[in-house]
Structure 1
C-alpha cells in the first residue's frame, strides 16, 4: 500500500478512551497496526463525556450542520491527541446526543438510549462528511473502514455521492443488529430508495447492520469460522440470506491482540512478570495475588489446587448457563477453585454472588469491569473458562494463551480458529494449546474441564501446553496485511 493511502477508521468505542467489549480493543489495535504498515490513519468516534475528559491538545476543525430526527444539529469536529495514540483522533461533538454519563449504548437500567437511532445516524453522517473533506482540511479518505451497526449507515451514505472512497464494513457481532422502526427511518429523512428488502428494510423496520452489509464494497468479520457460521440460520440472526448473497464480498480475517499491552513479561497490572521460557516464580506469585484478592487461602497446599478463571460479559452468549449448571458438580467432585470477573445479565450476576456467599473458600466473584483485575486473572488462573455458545472472534482466549493459562472453549467462531485441543494426537504433534468440546451442554463442558484437570496433574504435559500457547504470536501484523490487501483490491461500486 502506498504510504499516502488515507484510512478513516470509524468506531463507536476505542480502548482506552471508552470500551464495552472487544470492539474497543480492535478499535485501538487495528488502526495502529495499519499505521505501522504505512497507512495514514484518522480515527473518528463520538465525543462522549468520558472521552472528552481524557484527551488533550484539542483543536477545533470546524462545524457541520447535520440532519437528525426532524431537526438539525450543529456538530463541532475536534481533532485531539492522546498519549496512547500514534495518530490524530477526530471527535464528533454534539452535546445533546453524546454528552451523557455511562455506557455509550444503554442507560444505567440496561435499556437502550431511546434516541440511539438519531445518535448513530448523526455520527454516520459526520463520518461521511469527514471522509469527503467537507471541512476543507486537505485530508480526504481513500478508504473508510466502518465497524458494527453503529456505523452501518456510513457505506450507504457514501454511496449517495459520486466516486466514493472504498467502503469496508466489519461485523464484530451479528447479535447486535441496530434495529429501528419505520417511524425512525422517516424521522431521520433517510433516502427513500433504501427502503426495500434488498436495502435496509428488515421485517418492517430497518437495520443499520444490514445497511453496512448491503452497501459496503467489502464486508469482513473477525474470524474465518465466524464468516462461515453467519451464513447459516443458527448464527445469521435473520440475515443469513443477505450474507449468502454477499458471500462474494465476505471475508473472515482473524482479530489480533495488542502484544505490548498483553505481555506477561512487561504487563504493568501484574505483581510479577514472567515469560514462555521462565514462567516461574512469576506465574505462581500472580496466582497467590489473585487468590488473596478474593480472600482465599494461598498457602502451599492451596497453590497445588487448579484455579479456574473467567472474565467477560455475564450473558447467555458466553455460556453462563453451562457454567452455572456445572458448578454444583465441580464443587462436589473436584477440589478446584474458581474466580469470575464481569458484569451483564442481572440473573447471572445474582446466581454467581449466591455461589460465592455459599462457598467463599472455593468461589470468588467480582461484578463489574476492572482492567487490572482482568489482567491479573489471565496471569494468575491456571485454566481459563470461555465456553461461549458463539464467539465471532474472542480475545480473552488469546490473552489466556499468551499468559500460559490454557483455555477451555466450545468449538465455535474464533475459538475454533485459535484453540487446538489437547488430544493425544495434537499433544504428540506439539500443537495442542487448550481444551475444546464439541457439544454445547454442561456434561461436555465438565468433561473438558476434567481433561484439563488431569493434564494439570501432569507437569510435563501442562508445561508443554503452556509453552505452545505462549510462543504463538497473536499480534495484528498478519491481519493488518490482510486488511491492507483488501483495501487495495476493493473496487468502487
Structure 2
C-alpha cells in the first residue's frame, strides 16, 4: 500500500508543535508495518537547517499550476529523513521563504498554493498513491480538488483528512482560489466551501470535510466533543451530516525517542524496575535550574502558552502549587505578545524564589530533563484534541494532572474516581476550567505523594507500563485505509 501524507509539518525538519511529531511518528510506524510512505511538505527555504539542505536531491520533474491567468512553476526536492522519504514542494517566488512556518498575512494563499501543487504532483504518472492523507486546513484544498467536476478519473486514490485542531479552519477570500484556477462559483453557495459563519468567504476545512472519503480527529473523546459541543467551532452540523465517515483515532508517541531507559538527553537512565534512579534526574534538574534541595514534589508545566492551554489556569496553578509546598518548573513559549508579557512578569516576580523556575522559550534537552526529573505535570487545557505532553510524562514516570477533555480524558485514569482497576490508574483528572479545580487536584496529588508514597509509585509504574506507542494507532490507520480501498 502506498500512502502519501500531505501536511505543513514533519519533525525534525519542520516542526512548530504536535502536528510535526504526529506526521513523523505515524509515518515511521506505517513504514514499520509494511506500508510505503511519502510525506509532502512545503520547502521552507531559510528555515531548513544546513544539515538537511545538504541532503536535498532535486527531482527531474517539477509541476506547474495555474496562477493569475498563467502558470507557476514548482520545483520538487527529495529528502530522506530518519527512514522517511519527504518530498519538498518549492513554488517559484518567496511563498515559503519566510522567517516562520505560519502567521503570515497571506497564509491562506500560500497553503492553498501548496495543496494545488501537491495535487498536481500526485496526478503525474508514477506518483499516484493508494491513499492521500491530508492534515488540517493547510492541505484541505486537496480533497476538494480531487473531487471537482472533470477531475482526473484515472486518479483512484482515496482521500482522508485528520483534524488536529478545529480552531484553525482556513477561512479565506474566494478570489484567492480564483487566482489558482479554481472554479469558485461551482464550489460556493451552496457548496463545500460555503461557511454560514463567514458569508461570502471560503472555508477550506469545510470543503475537505465535505469531500474527503474519511475524516478523523486525534482522539475518540475529541471526536465526540466536536460533534456535540461548542468545541466543534461551528462545524458541528457539517460533521453530524457526515457522521458515517467520521471517527477518532488516538495519537501515539515515538517510544524510541521518548524512552527513559536510553534517552541520550538525560543524565541517568531508568525503567519500571529501576524507578528509584529517577531521583538522580530530579537532582540534576534542581541543580540545572537552581531549585533548592529539599523534600518536595516537583511540578512541571511544558508546552505552548496560549488560550487553548489555559493561561489563567497555568498562572493560578503556579501559585497554588507553591502554596501547597511544590517546587515548580515551567518550560514554554507564548506566541501572543500579551500572554508573553504576563508570563515574563510572573517569571520576574518569582526570580528570587528558590522553589520555582520559569523558562520562557523552548529547549529540547531541557524538556527531556524536566520529564525525567519532575514528579507530576499539570495540563489544564481548555480543550485538547489529543495531547502528547501527558503521554510523554507517563513514559517517564511523571504523573499527569489534567482536565477531563479530549485526549487527556482518553489517556489519564484518575487515581481515586474511576471504574478502572487500580493497576490501570495513572494520574488525576479535574472537570471545571477553574482555579479552584486546579488547586483541588494539586492538593489531592500532593497528599498522596506525601502520605502514601507507595501508592504514588504505583501510579508512576502504571503510566510507564502502558503502551502509548504509535504501533496500535498505525494498525488502526492501516485498517482504515484498507476499508477505504475496499480491502
- Please report the TM-score for the alignment, with normalisation by the length of structure 1: 0.91
**Aligned partner (choices 175, 200, 208) of residue 183 of structure 1:** 175
Q: Which residue number in structure 2 is paired with residue 335 of structure 1?
A: 325
1:129 and 1:95, CA in 2 relative to 1: closer, same or farther beyond 3 A? closer
Q: Which aligned pairs between 1:338-487 and structure 2 lie closer than 5 A?
A: 338-344=328-334, 345-360=336-351, 361-423=354-416, 429-457=422-450, 458-487=452-481
1:287 aligns with 2:282: yes
The CA distance in 2 between the partners of 1:158 and 1:425, in whole Å, is 46
Say whether the 8 Å CA contact 1:43–1:88 is kept in structure 2: yes
The CA distance in 1 between the partners of 2:311 and 2:446, in whole Å, is 20
Say whether the 8 Å CA contact 2:56–2:77 is kept in structure 1: no
The CA distance in 2 between the partners of 1:272 and 1:398, in whole Å, is 20
**Aligned partner (choices 212, 218, 228) of residue 216 of structure 1:** 212
Say whether the 8 Å CA contact 1:69–1:118 is kept in structure 2: no
The CA distance in 1 between the partners of 2:454 and 2:6, in whole Å, is 46
Deviations 1:98-155 (A, max 9, x none): 442432112xxxxxx12212211111112212222x1x4x242111000010000111
The CA distance in 1 between the partners of 2:120 and 2:175, in whole Å, is 25
The CA distance in 1 between the partners of 2:93 and 2:363, in whole Å, is 29
The CA distance in 2 between the partners of 1:239 and 1:225, in whole Å, is 16
1:71 and 1:269, CA in 2 relative to 1: closer, same or farther beyond 3 A? farther
Tell me by how many angstroms 1:400 deviates: 0.3
Deviations 1:43-83 (A, max 9, x none): 1100112236342051323121122456532100111223x
The CA distance in 1 between the partners of 2:111 and 2:75, in whole Å, is 15
Say whether the 8 Å CA contact 1:17–1:54 is kept in structure 2: no
More divergent stretch after superposition (230-239 vs 419-428):
419-428
The CA distance in 2 between the partners of 1:491 and 1:428, in whole Å, is 39
Say whether the 8 Å CA contact 1:166–1:490 is kept in structure 2: yes
The CA distance in 1 between the partners of 2:69 and 2:94, in whole Å, is 14
The CA distance in 2 between the partners of 1:307 and 1:427, in whole Å, is 27
Tell me by how many angstroms 1:330 deviates: 3.5
Say whether the 8 Å CA contact 2:62–2:121 is kept in structure 1: no
Q: Which aligned pairs between 1:241-280 and structure 2 lie closer than 5 A?
A: 241-280=237-276
Say whether the 8 Å CA contact 1:9–1:42 is kept in structure 2: yes
1:197 and 1:309, CA in 2 relative to 1: closer, same or farther beyond 3 A? farther
1:172 aligns with 2:164: yes
1:226 aligns with 2:222: yes
Q: Which residue number in structure 2 is paired with residue 110 of structure 1?
A: none
Tell me by how many angstroms 1:21 deviates: 0.9
Deviations 1:312-331 (A, max 9, x none): 11001111211223433443
Deviations 1:194-238 (A, max 9, x none): 113441121221112112211100001100000110113410111
The CA distance in 2 between the partners of 1:288 and 1:98, in whole Å, is 47
Q: SS in structure 2 opposite 1:309?
A: strand
Tell me by how many angstroms 1:271 deviates: 1.4
Q: SS in structure 2 opposite 1:279?
A: helix
**Aligned partner (choices 144, 152, 168) of residue 156 of structure 1:** 144
- Please report the TM-score for the alignment, with normalisation by the length of structure 2: 0.92
Deviations 1:248-287 (A, max 9, x none): 1001000010000000111111111111111122x22222
Tell me by how many angstroms 1:481 deviates: 1.1
Deviations 1:429-482 (A, max 9, x none): 322100100122111111011111111112101110000000001011111111
Mind listing any 5+ residue stretches in structure 1 that lack a counterpart? 107-112
The CA distance in 2 between the partners of 1:271 and 1:426, in whole Å, is 38
Tell me by how many angstroms 1:392 deviates: 0.3
Q: Which residue number in structure 2 is paired with residue 32 of structure 1?
A: 28
Q: SS in structure 2 opposite 1:102?
A: coil
Q: Which residue number in structure 2 is paired with residue 6 of structure 1?
A: 2
Q: Which aligned pairs between 1:110-149 and structure 2 lie closer than 5 A?
A: 113-132=104-123, 134=124, 136=125, 138-149=126-137
